[in-house]
Structures are given as structure tokens and as C-alpha cells.
Structure 1
């Protein structure tokens, strides 16, 4: 591409960025602002989600078909509730997740959906004649005979025949009533073992169409609408049991959302300042790429219909920090090329080419972790994974295309191609660099001892004392109330005892301790939760409106979370091992996975040592640590692999140390950047995001340390045992 075309393209990119940001913030004509386009999660918008588990022994295709039928029936029901964009999804193999934005009462939502709701039609003697699957439609109509409203029924072919037989038997006079007050000539419509209507049959109905009237005066519009919705909901083909419920106040969620957005803006600002301070004109190119990156990720989420959750925002901001990594790799290579005596223009071209493979290899491992996390995660973890995945892909695109475009332009400029703008002196030495050469392999046994001590102490303490599992792992209930003022926790405990509830944790929340959070190890059903609300109403004068959030986890949910966490780590490690062996060799793969396992165990050990709560966000944090750790290790291994062909006369220990020292500035810069963007999240964001950030914070530090102090020495040990590295002796045009 000619310089003239590059200039035109760069102007076009800048215009796209400016226009893109304007539309993103304000919208333009038929295009809404991105905030109006994005779907907000229940933790932001407020609402209820319910997870229900099918009680069935079906497996394979039978189970799949059963769950799809159940999903369709529930979708019919929730669509009658008048809420905006309800979501019904199959989660795992036997679970249905129902998200109801705008709903504020989990108990009412469950009643509307029906945990075991099976619609059936009985004769007065209890004989079942047909079920809800045979109902084609039910709608509200006017009752011309009695006034008011009536309900019109329409049956499918099978239902038409069954209903004709039912009406014929009801009129025969041979039916002996056994269902309470049900008339001998009536057909009782039963939902979840509750009679919702028992219309009396006046004639045999053979055309598959019937009218249910409400007697003199007919039904009210509300009653007719409710009855038709219940019948139209159909029959669930399998009984369902509530295993997980959450209610989130919109006010609390939106406040957390606003704080998270502010934290994100601050984080992006910090990244730009760091890039400008450390990389000069290269930092300007990276900042332009970053501004485009943010637009791409936000609009990709909006167009894909991705639900934006608070943890998803955390994943997005973390990906902003990791997006810097690709640029830092490129900038490090460019400086090295200038240092070897090349002109700035040639250095930019060569630096990009040499960095490309490293960027792809290091980012692919994080992509693998994100995909596994998305497949095995649930709810908020999926939101975290998808934003992280989109962010990584966007960072690859912007760093390798946009950054390259602007750096190529600057390197061809007479004024901006001066070495000082690239952080280099005229004698080709870097202005800022770590001049000391560290001997990492020589002292490897010291690092082994430190890691072993942390693992033995942490895992030992955790094993003896027991890990601090959250209720999502153990099963249980969390209820958060806005009490309106600070109340004594001892009085709250008395209220709990009055309804037979034991709190495993009882703490204040909100401004001026005006709220309380109650956690129980027992999974409280709707009835128990309603009893507690009634007791609080009696003791403190609060109602359902004071319930800020409710989360309920059945014991089976915790079991699955633990199982999925183990599966996720194992599958990620296997996938990464295969990728690294394919791209490098087996010794690199084994060393990298050994580092990943050590990192994961170290995070678990620290959680055990300091008794930090292990919960659903912990899984996301652990998987991201796996990806980030491998990302850092791959960069060092890529340099070792390259130097194996360049430093043929060097001892392996010297070569590994040299490779680590070459990439040390990049490792420190990338890790520091990721940690820096987490700081605003810790200070400003909500507790749910902090739960995601904590294992990431620990993991970034642990992962960076292990890639330098553990993985590379392990590779050295394996090479010594196997008779030397595979790549030794290869030639290269580069010289030292």
C-alpha cells in the first residue's frame, strides 16, 4: 500500500472512531445510543431469575426432547406475564433458567410459571380425560349470554376426540362426583393439582371448540384473562423443582452499573496515560487502537444480543488491560529491532512481523480458557466469559491492523521517525530498560521451595479448617433487606428464631448500616421466605418492597458448580497442552501446564489460608488465571524457542535467563497494566464485581511470577532429562 493510501485510510479510521464514539454515546437518527441497544442483565435492570430442575430419569435424545418441550411451554407462560424480554434457556442437561426483567417477586414468578404445573381435564369422578398438550389455544371473548367475559377453548385433533368423549360421559348421568363440590356434569380443569375452573357441560362438543362462561354476569376481564393464560400455558411434560432463585432490586443494580461505568472510564484513561508516558508516539497509536477497540466490543455485544451483567463489565475492563499486551509485545519488538541497528521504518515492519506469532499464540490460550468458561459456566459467569472473549478478539484486530497502520505512517514521516519518539537514544540504546541481568534458572530451587511452602501451608490450613464455601457451592439462601434504619442484629436474630431460621451469617449492608444481609446454609423454599418477610413486617414494619435481593441455591447447584470447576480446569489444561505441543514441543507444553496447575493450586491455597469465600465468581477468576498465566508463559517460551536457533553456542541455562530478561519489561508492563485497571473496580464497583476481581488480582500476580520463576526452570529440567531442546542448532538471520 502506498503512503498516500495509508494517509487516506488513517484519516478514515479516525473519522470512524470519532463518529463511532458520537453514535455510541448519543445515537444518530434511527441508530440508538449503545446504552439503549445493550440488553442489561437482571443484576443491573432488576428482576427475578428462577432455575428449575426436571425430575426425570430420561437420558440422551429423550431428555433433550423433553427439555425442549418444557422450555416451549414455559416460554408460552412467561410471555403472558407482560414483562419486557423474558428469557427462558436450557441450562446444562436437566435445568431450565427463567429470567424475568422487571419482576420483583420471586414467589409470584414461580407461581405463574408453575414448578410442577401440569394442566389436566377430569370428569367429576376423578377420571382424567385429556391434558394441556391437547389444547391448541385459549383466548378471552365476550359472553353474549351472561354479559362480561368468557374463555374460548380450541383443541387439537387428539384433544377434539378426547373432549367429545368427556362431554358425552359428563352428560350421561353415570358420573358419580368424587372431587368435592364439582358438579356431576362438569369437567374440572386442574393445574398443579388445583382446580382452576369446573364448567358444567350443556351439550356434547365434537368440533373441538368450547366456551367457558362465568355464570350470571360472566367473568371479569381480569379473571378471564388469567384463566385463559393458565390454560394456554399448556402442560409441562415433566415435573420441575426450584433449585436456584434470585431477586435483584433495580435501584441497587443500576447504582452498581453507574459506578462500574465510571470505573471503566477511569481504567481506560489510566491505560492511555500509561501508553503515552512509556511509549511516546507508539503509545499514541495504541491509544487510537484502544478507542476503536472499545467501540467494537460494545457494538459487538449490542448486535449479538449479549446480556450485559456487572461481572460482564468486569470482564470487559479486564480485557482492556489485556488488550495492551498485544501492543506491548509489538513495541518491545520494534525497540529491539532499532537496538540491532535497523532504521525506524524497517524496525516497525520487522517488529510487527516478529511479534505476530507470539501475539496469536499467547492470545489463543486465553481464548481457549474463555470458551471453556462460557460452555461450563452459568449466568453471570457466562456474561464474564463472553465479554472477555470478545475483548481478546477485538484486541488482536486493533493491535495488528490499526496500531500497525499508524506506526507505519509515523515511521515514514521525516519528523516523527526520530528514534527519540520510540523510546530509543540515538546510539540505539533504550531510554528506559532494566539493565541488570537476573539469573533465574540458577536460583530455581529457592523458588521451588517458596512455592512448595505456600502450597503445603495453604492447602493444609484449608483442608484442616475447611474452606469457606459460599452458599452457591453449599446450597443455601441469601436475603438482603433495606430496613430503613440501623437495627440491632440481635433483634434480627430473634425474628429469625421466631420462624425457625438459623443464619450462618448476619451482617449489615448499605449506607449507614440501614440494610441487613442474611445467609443460611439451608435452602429456604418460598413458604419459609414469605414467613420471614411476614415476621419482619410484624417486628420492623417492612414489606416485600424492602427486599433488595434474594438468592436461593439448592444443594444440587453447588455440587454441579464444584464439578464444573474441576472440568473447566482439566479441559482447559488439556486443550492448551495440545495447542502448545502443536505450536512448540512437548517439553514446552508440559512446563506450561505444570505452571498452570501450580497457579491454580496457589490461588486455592491462598483462599484456604486466608479463609476467603469460594463461590461462583471464583470459578471465572480461576479460569481467567489459567488463561492469563499461559499467555505470559507463551511469550517467554516463544523467545526461548527463537533464541535456541540464534544462540547455538550458549549454554541452555544462560539462554533461558537471557530470554526471560529480554521479555521481563514486557511481563512487568502487561501485568502492571492489568492490575492498574482493576484498582478503580475495587474502589468504585459493587461487591459482585469485587468477587470476580479478587481471584484475578491474586492470579495475575501468581501467574506472572510462575511464568518467570517456575515454568521456565521446569522447561530447563525437562530439557536436561531428555537430552537437550528440540530446536537447538537451528539457524536464523538475526544475530546478537
Structure 2
């Protein structure tokens, strides 16, 4: 590609960058109109933890397996999807989770009790006379709509031909006095609509109704009429469903966290930009341009693919920004090495990109493998985290390999900037870097082994003796968060709830400690939570609007989380092992890398055991992300070891491995630093739900950085040392024979 064409492309990239950021922040046109191009904040879809709403996970009570279970769950999902759509909930989603569960998300729903009850009705729909004799069932109902009835609403029913005849006969019996009521609360001339053995309505029959159409009046409100019509239209579920997990979130907490996340992300991004310029000068400035493009491409990709952004997804976005720096740092390090080797700037840039490409791809692909496994095995919130991470990895490869290369090649062809000082190299040909000293890592490897094993053993013993601090998503239980309007003593709240025998853990939240979070290992369904909430409302004069969140997990959910987490780690490890063996042509690299992953997971578990952090669903997501991040760092070092072994054939493994670690040490520190930097503001400023993701990730970044240097590389050395010893013995024996 000619320099002129590169300049044109660079100008276009800058123009797109400026225009893209303008649209991202402000949109185009009147934002209140539908035809306007919305700002990215308005264009994105947000999860329930940001927008508020209800989700419920229901488990099918069936012994069916395989294809029969799949068919049953597909039918169940279709019926519930129809019910939710009939309720008029915008952007609701109904998905099959696992093999025998249905997850329903309803953004913006305020009356959670009615919504959950409506979607979970399981029995068949019947029209019943007052003597409990069945007139017809829901299969005979073609449609049910609402219409205005003066200042109220009425329900319009339409039956099929069979249903029309049956309904006409039933109304004739009711009107002619042929029925004697056996149902409490029903008159002789009424017909009840029964769903799940509960009477939905029991309107009076005033005349014989023929023709297949009728209307039900009764001073219904719009909400009552809509809900009743939806239940009649929805029909029957093919299987009984039991609520195993549910959550009600107000938009207040999520919106507040979103605003804080934006500020925290901006602070973290600004610090990363500054660090890149400080340590890499003009190269760092180019990386900042690529990162700015990365962010807007990432955000608009989320919009284009209709990805729902959740609070964990925001954490993944900001984490991926830190990881995106890694590809640039690898490239910059290789360019500096080529310059220090005596090559011209232009040749060094071409050689640096060529040599760095395989390392960048290997490192990112192994992380991508972990993200894919996380997406396939994880629950819905974890899937959002994983999908966000996958998008970030793919875009980071593009911006680093294409955009960064475009601008750096222009610098290399510029008489003004094609100088050592602009490429991180001193005038004497030595590289500018944080650490100029070399270390002997392999010689002290046994110390590293002892320290790591000691931490793991202490952590595991601690977990056995004192137990892990499992969250309710593992143990099963309930969480309710309410705003009492003032600080109330925790002892008083405990007394208020003592009749429920919850044995709760109650903590303060919010500014001024006006909010309380009530946690109990007792699993309360929606009805049970409503009783507790009603008691709090009566005791402290609060309303439904003051109930900020309520959540319930059944014990089976926690068991499944543990199994899925273990399954994900095993599958991800096998996938990465196969990829590494394929790329590096040696099982020793793969074994050492996977051993490092296992080491990192055990260290983080030990950390959680010793310091008592809560082990919950975000912890699982963070552990699985750590699997990908940890191996990313290891792959970069292993790639350099492989290269040095080919270049320095006369040096033994200890020399080559120490050389490789020292050559990549500045990159390892820089990448870990930038990743931590973007997470620290998020951890400090945002809600506890994001903090639960960030803390294990921060620990994982530090542990992953250390393990690639102090565990994986020494372990690879020990595996190679045996082969070198065998080769030495064979060589000695051969020489002895020749003598």
C-alpha cells in the first residue's frame, strides 16, 4: 500500500473517529423524535438490573428426558411467550435455561406479583357452571380482547364452532334455573372461568348466548381486563412449573449504577491513555487513537447485535478495554526490539508487526475459548458478561492489527517522526522501559513452588475448617432491599420480622444508611416475599415504590451453578490445551499452561476462603474469565520461549526461559497495570453487584500475572530439563562407545 493511500485512510479514520464520538455522545437530530439517530446511551438495550423489572426462573416438574423433554420445553416456552406478549410487556424475553427451566424477563413491570402469577398459571382453562360441571375448556376459545365500557372496560370472547354450541347450552342451563350452586360465592346463574383450580372471574349470565361471541362486563379497570383476557387467550401450560428463582428490581439502583459506571469508565480510560503516552510516547498516542475507535466500535456493535447491556456487561466492557491495550503493547515491544537490533525504523515496524501477529492471535484466541465456554455454560447474567467479552476481544484484534499498524507505518515513513525517541528507544539504541534489570527466575523456582503450594493448602484447609461464604445463589435463599426513609436500628428490623423465623442477615445500604438489605437462607417464593414486604410497609409506613429489589434462589440453582462452573473450567482447559498443543507442537507447553490455570483458580479460591468474600454467581464468571486472562499472559511468554529456543540453540532451557521472561516482563507489568487501572475506579465508585465481579477479577489479574512468570515457565523448564538430561546421557553413552 502506498504512503499516499495510507494518509488518505488515516484521515478517514480520524474523521470517522470524530464523527463517531459525536454521534455516540449526542446522536443526530431531535432525540425526542423516532426518526432521530439516538446517542449510544439511548440506543443500547439495558438489562433488568439497570432498567428495573421482573425476572423469574421456573423449573418443569417432569420425568421426561432427551427429545421428549426438549419438545415439552419448547411448547411451554411458546405458551408463556404468548402470555407475556398478551400482557403487553415491551421487550420481554422468554428463554429456555439449561434443559428443564424457563427464564422470563419483563422490563419495566411494576406489579411483580401479578406478572409472576399470570405467567405461571399451569392448569387447563375451564368454563364451569355453578354446580361445578364443565361447560367447555380453553381449547375452544379462539380469542379474548378488551373494549371500553363507559368509564370501565369489558372483555370480548370468541369461541370456535364446537365451543359456541357448548357455551350456548351452558348459558341456557344457567338462565333457565337448571343449576344449583355448589361453589361458595357463586350464584346459580353464573359461569366461572377457572384456571389452575382458581376462579379468575364468575360473571352472571343474563340471557342465552349463541353465535360464538359474548362479552363480560363488571366495571373492570384496564389492567384487570387486560390481565384476564391474556390469561384466557394464553391457554394451558403442558407441564407444571415451580418457581426456583425470581427477582424484582427497581430502575433506581440500576440507573444510579449506570451513571457511576460511565464516570468510572471514563476515569479508567483517561488513566490508561495517560499511561500509554508516558511509557510509549508517540506509539502510546497511536494506541490511544486505536482505543478510542475500539470503544465506539464496541458500543455500536452492542447496538447492532441487540446485545442487552447489564451491569456485569459494563464490567466486561471496561475489563476488555484494559485487555485491548495488551495487543498494542506486544506490538510496540517487538518493534523496539527490532530497532535495538540495528534495523531501520521502517524495516523494524514491518518486522515487529509480523513477529507480534502470531503472539497477539494466540493470546486472544485462548481467551476467546474461555469466553465461548462461559457463554455456553453460564446463566443469563453470565452469558451477557461473556458475550460482551467476546465482542471486545474480536474488535481489539482489528484495532491493534489494522488501525495501529496504519498509523505506525505512517510514522515510520515520516522524516520527522521516524526517529528512535518516538519509538521508545534511546539514541544509543537501548530500549526505554520500566525495568532495565534482568532476573534469574528459574534458579529460584522452588521458592515460588513452596509459596504457591502453601497459600493453596492454607486456603483449602481454611475452607474445610471454617467453610466458604456462599451467597444465596449457591445456598438458596432470599434477598430483599428496601428504603425505609430513615436509619432504623437493625435490631428493630429483626424484631419486626421475628414471626417469619428467617434468621436473617441484615446490613445497611444507601446514603445515610436509610436502606436495609435483608438476606436469609430461607427460600421465599414471590408470595412469601410479599408477606414480608407487607409487614415492613405496615411497620415503617413505606410503599411499594420503596421496595428497591427482591430476589429468590432455590437450592437446586446453587447446585447447578457449582456443577456448571466445574464443567466450564474442565471444558475450557481441554479446549485451550488442544489449541496450545496444536500451535506449539508440544504437550509440555499445553500441560504447563493448564497447570497454571488450575493454580490460579485454586489461589483465588484460597483468597476467598481466607478473607471471607462471598462466593456467588459473579464469582463464577470472574473465575472463568480469569481462566482466559491467565493463559493469555502465559501464551505471550511461551511464544517468546519457543522463538528463543529456535534462535539460541546452543543455550540451555534455563538461559532461554529466563531470557524470554525478562524480554516480556515490561509487557506483562504494563498489561496488568492498565487492566487493573480501569477496574479500580469501577470497584470504588459503583454498586456492590459490579464490585462482586471486579474484586475476583482484580485478584485474578495479579495472580495470573505472577503465575505465568513464577509457575508456568518454571514448570515448563522442569519438564524440558528431563529431556535435556536424557539427551545428555545418550550423547555421553554414544561418545563412550566410539572410544
Paired residues of 2:140 and 2:162 also in contact (CA < 8 A):
no
Looking at structure 1, the residues matched to 196 and 325 of structure 2 have their Cα atoms a distance apart, in angstroms, of: 56
Structure 2 CA distance for partners of 1:221 and 1:654, relative to 1, 3 Å = closer
Looking at structure 2, the residues matched to 128 and 456 of structure 1 have their Cα atoms a distance apart, in angstroms, of: 67
Looking at structure 2, the residues matched to 587 and 687 of structure 1 have their Cα atoms a distance apart, in angstroms, of: 41
Q: 1:189 aligns with which of 190, 193, 215?
A: 193
1:531 counterpart residue number? 531
Structure 2 CA distance for partners of 1:179 and 1:721, relative to 1, 3 Å = farther
1:95 counterpart residue number? 101
1:236 counterpart residue number? 237
Moved more, 242-251 or 318-327: 242-251
Aligned: 1:39 with 2:40: no
RMSD: 2.4
- The offset of 1:567, in angstroms, is 1.0
- The offset of 1:526, in angstroms, is 2.7
Count of residue correspondences: 716
- The offset of 1:225, in angstroms, is 3.9
- The offset of 1:724, in angstroms, is 7.8
Looking at structure 1, the residues matched to 413 and 165 of structure 2 have their Cα atoms a distance apart, in angstroms, of: 86
Looking at structure 2, the residues matched to 224 and 441 of structure 1 have their Cα atoms a distance apart, in angstroms, of: 75
Paired residues of 1:141 and 1:152 also in contact (CA < 8 A):
yes
2:2 counterpart residue number? 2
Paired residues of 1:187 and 1:201 also in contact (CA < 8 A):
no
Correspondence 1:151-550 to 2 at 5 A: 151-155=155-159, 160-161=161-162, 164-165=165-166, 167-168=168-169, 171=172, 178-180=182-184, 187-198=191-202, 200=205, 209-214=212-217, 224-432=225-433, 434-503=435-504, 505-550=505-550
2:22 counterpart residue number? 22
Q: Deviation string for 1:292-343 (max 9, x for gaps)?
A: 0000000000111111111111110000000000000000000010011100
Q: Deviation string for 1:598-633 (max 9, x for gaps)?
A: 111111111111111101100111011100110000
Looking at structure 2, the residues matched to 296 and 133 of structure 1 have their Cα atoms a distance apart, in angstroms, of: 50
Structure 2 CA distance for partners of 1:211 and 1:660, relative to 1, 3 Å = same
Structure 2 CA distance for partners of 1:398 and 1:149, relative to 1, 3 Å = closer
Moved more, 174-183 or 473-482: 174-183
Aligned: 1:636 with 2:637: yes
Paired residues of 1:167 and 1:201 also in contact (CA < 8 A):
no
- The offset of 1:33, in angstroms, is 0.9
Q: Deviation string for 1:265-286 (max 9, x for gaps)?
A: 1111111111111111111111
1:576 counterpart residue number? 576
Aligned: 1:121 with 2:127: yes
1:665 counterpart residue number? 666
- The offset of 1:196, in angstroms, is 2.1
What TM-score, normalized to structure 2? 0.92
Q: Deviation string for 1:642-698 (max 9, x for gaps)?
A: 111111101111111111111111111111111111111111111111110111111
Looking at structure 1, the residues matched to 148 and 551 of structure 2 have their Cα atoms a distance apart, in angstroms, of: 42
Moved more, 422-431 or 147-156: 147-156
Paired residues of 2:164 and 2:213 also in contact (CA < 8 A):
no
What TM-score, normalized to structure 1? 0.93
Structure 2 CA distance for partners of 1:573 and 1:218, relative to 1, 3 Å = closer
Structure 2 spans left out of the alignment, 5+ residues: 30-35, 728-739
Structure 2 CA distance for partners of 1:133 and 1:714, relative to 1, 3 Å = farther
Paired residues of 2:121 and 2:195 also in contact (CA < 8 A):
no
Looking at structure 1, the residues matched to 310 and 23 of structure 2 have their Cα atoms a distance apart, in angstroms, of: 22
